[in-house]
Amino acid sequence: MSGKYRYIARLGGGGMAEVFVAEVVGAEGFSRKVAIKRVLPGFSDNPTFAQMFVAEAQITSRLVHPNIVSITDFDRDADGRLFLVMEMVDGKDLDALVATGLLPFPVVIYLITEALRGLGYAHDLPVSSDMRGIIHRDISPHNVLVSWEGAVKVSDFGIAKAKAA
């Protein structure tokens, strides 16, 4: 438990952060599933990594589009570890979907088109007067999420950069 967030299960992780299914808990029994990306112990105290994670939160919070995983909160837990709260996309990543076998050509076209809609929005987003757009720089099958309802969303803008106008 981290304040108003209750961790349910670990989804996965990498060398510097881990992702959990969690619930945001509110007044009068309100709750909603979210995904929480939390920095591993020690990395929140590393100024270089902490600044990179803060930059990810700042960049990603500006991206409001149906094909991009939305960010709803950014904070530190009781242990001082940085964490990012995101919408929960209930489904599979493209890597897991492709592992099930060949996908029908119309499905492939749909998945690519939807992912490109999100990336196109990010690329055209005004950042400042001298910067225009955000480049993902790590688009890969595990960073494209597909919900059980068919929504396609790009995630993990951790190494994204703003591009010059």
**pLDDT tens sequence across 50-106:** 888 887 788 788 889 999 999 999 998 888 888 999 999 999 999 999 999 999 999
- Long-range contacts: 19-23, Cβ < 8 Å, 24+? 21/88, 22/85
Question: Mean pLDDT across the stretch 20-38?
Answer: 93
User: Is the predicted pLDDT of residue 138 greater than 90, yes or no?
Assistant: no
| pLDDT at position 11 over 70 | yes
How far is Cα 40 from Cα 17, in angstroms, rounded to an integer? Answer: 5
- Confidence bin at 114 (pLDDT 50/70/90): very high
Q: How far apart are CA 87 and CA 79, in angstroms?
A: 23
Our answer to whether residue 73 is catalytic in this structure is no
What does the mean pLDDT of the chain come to? 86
Number of Cβ atoms within 10 Å of the Cβ of 151: 14
And the tokens for 78?
């009781």
pLDDT for residue 41 = 84
Look up residue 35 and give its two tokens: 């995904």
* pLDDT level of residue 158 (50, 70, 90 thresholds): low
Question: pTM for the whole thing?
Answer: 0.84
Query: Exactly one of 45, 90, 124, 138 is catalytic; which is it?
Result: 138
Residue 159 predicted with pLDDT over 60 = no
Predicted local distance difference test score (pLDDT) of residue 116:
95
Q: Report the distance separating Cα 49 and Cα 65, nearest Å.
A: 27
The dihedral formed by the CA atoms of 7, 13, 17 and 21, expressed in degrees to the nearest 10: -20
Pairing of strands 82-87, 144-147: unpaired
Query: Which of 74, 55, 67, 61 lies closest to 158, judged by CA?
Result: 55
Average pLDDT over residues 138-154: 92
Among 155, 138, 137, residue whose Cα is nearest residue 146: 155
